[in-house]
């Protein structure tokens, strides 16, 4: 039951994770695509409204300049005889166009003869650019402050007043200069234009407008930025498009979608090089994307839970036959039944049930055969002793047992002396019988837990588990007993033969901590035994006996 529930839980969790991952992936991809689309859409909108505003400013400036040019052609100004009529004309013009903060008519020396509301009448403005430039031709000046005029004009807000100058010469019938028509337009007019354009777009997104001069001085913006030099990478590009957009990092360190449009003038008005900038923070622009992504993830999570529940229920239906198979397998292992019963379910599970039944039958038939094959794989075919494969399996187990019982391993390399002459004289069959007899004598000399293996030819290895305190003595005793056993004559096909044996020994881990290295030390000791005259025992770092 536990395994079935675990499978159901894992299946449900897998579905939940997959659906959640898919929702996250789709949300991310949709968010990236939407971000790109919104960035481009908002950027184009900002560039368009920037262009709309700068175009509106240029058109208004051209319109007011044209209006003053018409006014300058009136006979009342050209003749200049009736100053009261001129004053009345200027008052009505200023009243109908509130953006005209002040308009005045001067003589050819710059003395104000008539003005709106009588302000500055009798004052000489001949030294000011509005007169000097206006006496030469149509003059449109950039935004500036006029301290004296600001004191005389009503100023409910108390903020510094800024003006834009428009002036032109007034000529008589002969084309001689008789005066200058000068005006100061209130820069508040630009803010009114900004509000008129901003209100529709402001309902959809939070946008700010900036108007900067040709030298990048801020002319219209939040109060704290007016008069500052605005530095943006897009403003430093040579020959930029008339209107474009980009993502810019502003002096406050934040990134904004920024639309930029440069004044190109209108008709005869060449423009003053104003630049209108509209910006919106990236956070504000991406708010719809974040909301969409959140909704996708929310619904994806809910769907993941729903599909996980459905998957859990469906898995329970399909795993019920599997539980029956598992229970039958448990009963089979306990001996209660002999075969796996037929399970009626889906085609795949029925096939699985039949396959398991056949597998159990096949395993039962082949169990003994596999055991026999395993025995053969670990035995030397001639002598019945362990072979190298059995030795490789035995050594790690023997090492572990030695660690647990404070023992060590004595490794004895054996090489028969005089075997080859007997084999050559009596034949290989007699040699095989001799090796089998040697194997029996070696096997009889072992104790419980020890191992003797044939390494090949007439080479053997004895592995003894001996106490660490008396390892050398016990190994020496077994080795000498083995020498005596192998010296006894052997009857082969009516011949009595006698062989000897050389033994090299080493102790693990006393002589070396690595078992392979210890085997090499025992092999070296064997060569020392042969050099010492054969038919003797030599232990590593010990004198021959």
Per residue in 475-518, pLDDT tens? 999 999 999 988 889 888 778 888 889 999 999 999 898 999 99
Cα–Cα nearest to 167, from 135, 142, 144: 135
Cα–Cα nearest to 526, from 506, 507, 502: 502
201 confidence band (pLDDT: 50, 70, 90): low
Q: What confidence score (pLDDT) does residue 369 get?
A: 47
pTM of the predicted structure, to 2 decimals: 0.52
Domain map of the chain by residue range?
A: 388-539
Cα–Cα nearest to 462, from 394, 545, 510, 401: 394
453-465 in b/e burial notation, b at 16+ Cβ within 10 A? bbbeebebbbbbb
What are 161-197's pLDDT values in tens digits? Answer: 788 899 999 998 888 999 999 998 888 878 778 777 7
Residue 176 and residue 144: Cα distance in Å, rounded?
30
The class level of CATH for 388-539 reads alpha beta
Residue 338 and residue 342: Cα distance in Å, rounded?
13
Secondary structure tally for the chain: helices H, strands E: 14, 18
Distances (CA, A) of 344 to 110, 191, 391, 396: 114, 84, 49, 48
Residue written as token pair 């013009």: 93
Tell me which DSSP letter residue 239 carries: S
Q: What confidence score (pLDDT) does residue 3 get?
A: 46
Distances (CA, A) of 216 to 138, 164, 228, 398, 444: 25, 17, 8, 89, 108
Q: Which two tokens stand for residue 381?
A: 């075919």
Residue 65 and residue 139: Cα distance in Å, rounded?
9
Q: What is the dihedral of CA 332, 337, 342, 348, to 10 degrees?
A: 0
What are 374-385's pLDDT values in tens digits? Answer: 555 678 888 888
Does residue 251 have a pLDDT over 60? yes
Q: What confidence score (pLDDT) does residue 409 get?
A: 92
343 confidence band (pLDDT: 50, 70, 90): low
Q: Which two tokens stand for residue 386?
A: 């362990």
Q: What confidence score (pLDDT) does residue 374 get?
A: 55
Q: Which two tokens stand for residue 158?
A: 């108390």
Does residue 534 have a pLDDT over 90? no
Query: DSSP letters along 152-170, please?
Result: HS--TT-SPPEEEEEEEEE
Query: What are the residue numbers of the active site?
Result: 458
Distances (CA, A) of 166 to 90, 197, 381: 14, 24, 120
268 φ, ψ to 5°? -75, -20
């Amino acid at each position: 039951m536990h395994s079935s529930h675990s499978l159901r839980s894992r299946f449900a969790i897998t579905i939940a994770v997959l659906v959640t991952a898919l929702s996250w992936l789709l949300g991310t991809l949709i968010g990236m695509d939407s971000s790109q689309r919104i960035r481009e859409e908002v950027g184009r909108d900002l560039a368009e409204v920037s262009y709309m505003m700068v175009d509106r400013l240029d058109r208004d400036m051209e319109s007011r300049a044209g209006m003053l040019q018409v006014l300058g052609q009136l006979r009342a100004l050209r003749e200049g005889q009736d100053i009261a009529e001129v004053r009345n004309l200027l008052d009505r013009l200023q009243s109908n166009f509130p953006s005209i903060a002040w308009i005045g008519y001067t003589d050819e020396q710059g003395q104000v003869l008539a003005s709106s509301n009588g302000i500055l009448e009798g004052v000489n403005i001949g030294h000011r650019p509005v007169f000097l430039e206006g006496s030469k031709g149509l003059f449109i000046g950039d935004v500036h402050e006029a301290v004296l005029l600001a004191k005389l004009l009503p100023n409910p807000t108390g903020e510094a007043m800024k003006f834009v100058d428009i002036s032109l010469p007034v000529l008589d019938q002969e084309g001689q200069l008789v005066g200058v028509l000068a005006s100061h337009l209130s820069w508040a007019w630009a803010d009114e234009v900004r509000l008129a354009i901003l209100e529709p777009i402001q309902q959809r997104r939070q946008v700010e407008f900036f108007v900067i001069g040709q030298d990048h001085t801020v002319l219209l913006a939040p109060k704290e930025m007016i008069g500052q030099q605005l530095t943006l990478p897009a403003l430093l590009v040579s020959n930029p498009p008339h209107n474009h957009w980009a993502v810019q990092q502003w002096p406050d360190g934040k990134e904004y979608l920024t639309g930029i449009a440069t004044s190109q003038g209108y008709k005869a008005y060449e423009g003053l090089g104003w630049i209108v900038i509209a910006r919106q923070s990236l956070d504000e622009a991406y708010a719809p994307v974040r909301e969409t992504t959140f909704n996708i993830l929310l619904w994806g999570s809910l769907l993941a839970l729903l599909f996980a529940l459905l998957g859990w229920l469906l898995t329970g239906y399909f795993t019920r036959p599997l539980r029956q198979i598992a229970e039958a397998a448990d009963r089979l292992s306990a001996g209660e039944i002999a075969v796996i019963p037929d399970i009626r379910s889906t085609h795949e599970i029925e096939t699985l049930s039949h396959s398991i039944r056949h597998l159990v039958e096949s395993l039962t038939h082949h169990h003994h055969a596999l055991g026999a094959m395993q025995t053969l794989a670990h035995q030397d075919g001639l002598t019945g002793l362990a072979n190298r494969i059995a030795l490789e399996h035995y050594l790690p187990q023997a090492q572990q047992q030695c660690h647990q019982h404070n023992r060590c391993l004595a490794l004895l390399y054996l090489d028969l002396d005089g075997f080859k002459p007997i084999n050559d004289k009596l034949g290989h069959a007699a040699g095989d019988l001799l090796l089998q007899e040697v194997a029996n004598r070696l096997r009889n000399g072992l104790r419980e837990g020890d191992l003797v293996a044939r390494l090949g030819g007439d080479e053997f290895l004895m592995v003894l588990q001996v106490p660490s305190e008396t390892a050398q003595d016990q190994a020496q005793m077994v080795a000498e007993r083995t020498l005596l056993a192998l010296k006894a004559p052997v009857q082969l096909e009516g011949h009595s033969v006698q062989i000897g044996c050389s033994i090299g020994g080493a102790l693990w881990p006393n002589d070396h901590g690595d078992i392979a290295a210890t085997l090499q030390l025992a092999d070296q000791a064997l060569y020392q035994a042969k050099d010492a005259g054969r038919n003797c025992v030599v232990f590593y770092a010990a004198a021959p006996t």
